[in-house]
Structure 1
């Protein structure tokens, strides 16, 4: 199926989730995440979920990682919309978030880090296929960013839904995930 069609279908599927369904699914996602065998981590790049889009939150996974690794550094993306690029910004309790023009919460202030620094990145998606490719929001920010990351970076997607068989209009610059977690499965690619 084409990315454009999949975006429309999965936006609608997410929109149809009730708050109670979403809370239950979020708990199940965290359980799946806790079973991924992760190497020692020093820095991760998460994203702040867009609540209005019923996007799966990364904060549950980030909180879990911070509990397990108290010295873990957490970065979040900040977009440069005209250049269609993003950068990773270290955050702590002094950094606040502001919504950009696409309603994405992004850090204001903070220290920018090199793309090679994070060992793990959470990547937003609308759906994914059985080969680990994802359908994002269509701007290519993450694929461009990943081209500059360390080759062994762990790329994790989070989905409320199981994979589609195949995304038929993949591009050469599309980067597959390492893992994608759903409420009932962890897919390894």
Structure 2
């Protein structure tokens, strides 16, 4: 049964993703640089030795430059791969140009032949993508629940930081019981911290 809450969530995703998709590539690149700059200013990100980063897809905040900078500064960088059972499995990257291959939904993922799996318990901080975020730590992904399950069941210890463009932020979201809250949200304009 489709509830009003489900309909509202779908409508929000559609509206926000349409606006995000309308950003010109040059503007998206510029705004992504500002998001990266704000992210690096966060003490929780700066001190994290092992981070899980997503590889950007379509109109998401770009992450390849951030991923490379993390490697250059000595962080252990993990990137998720979607397994057949719809689980996220983190793999360590050391050479992104050689180790990323098209995976689920056409998103670049670590090649499990070239990369080592990372124990979820070792991940100190997760940088999360999403479609819509709110000013209280709420996040809507894309509807698959991959990150929600991963954070709840496999990496509950990890600091959770969402990164987004300001146009993806709304005052509040209709969250469900399984939606995992963020510890922080970083946009090109501001950084929000939320109670643990």
Same fold (TM over 0.5): yes
State the match for 2:106 in structure 1.
Answer: 103
Alpha-carbon shift at residue 64 of structure 1 (Å)? 3.4
- Structure 2's unaligned 5+ residue stretches are none
Q: In structure 1, what is the Cα distance between the partners aligned to 2:37 and 2:81?
A: 28
- Structure 1's unaligned 5+ residue stretches are none
Distance 1:98 1:176, change over 3 A: same
Moved more, 137-146 or 11-20: 11-20
Q: In structure 1, what is the Cα distance between the partners aligned to 2:24 and 2:149?
A: 34
Deviations, residues 63-111 of structure 1 (Å, cap 9, x unaligned): 33334x32x2111101024x22111111222852222241211111211
**RMSD between superposed Cα atoms in Å:** 1.9
**Among 63, 76, 80, the residue aligned to 2:68:** 63
State the match for 2:83 in structure 1.
Answer: 80
State the match for 2:55 in structure 1.
Answer: 48
Contact kept, 8 Å, 2:134 with 2:170, in 1: the verdict is yes
Detail structure 1 runs of 4+ shifted over 6 Å in the superposition: none
Would you tell me which structure has more helix in proportion to its own residues? Answer: 2
Q: In structure 1, what is the Cα distance between the partners aligned to 2:69 and 2:183?
A: 19
Partner of 1:76, secondary structure, is: strand
State the match for 1:6 in structure 2.
Answer: 12
State the match for 1:15 in structure 2.
Answer: 21
Alpha-carbon shift at residue 150 of structure 1 (Å)? 4.5
Contact kept, 8 Å, 2:70 with 2:77, in 1: the verdict is no
Moved more, 156-165 or 93-102: 93-102
State the match for 1:176 in structure 2.
Answer: 181
Alignment of 1:67-146 (within 5 A): 67=72, 69-70=73-74, 72-81=75-84, 83-93=85-95, 96-109=99-112, 110-146=115-151
TM-score (norm 1): 0.88
Partner of 1:145, secondary structure, is: helix
Say how many residue pairs are matched. Answer: 183
Contact kept, 8 Å, 1:6 with 1:135, in 2: the verdict is no
Alpha-carbon shift at residue 161 of structure 1 (Å)? 2.0
Moved more, 119-128 or 87-96: 87-96
Q: In structure 2, what is the Cα distance between the partners aligned to 1:111 and 1:148?
A: 21
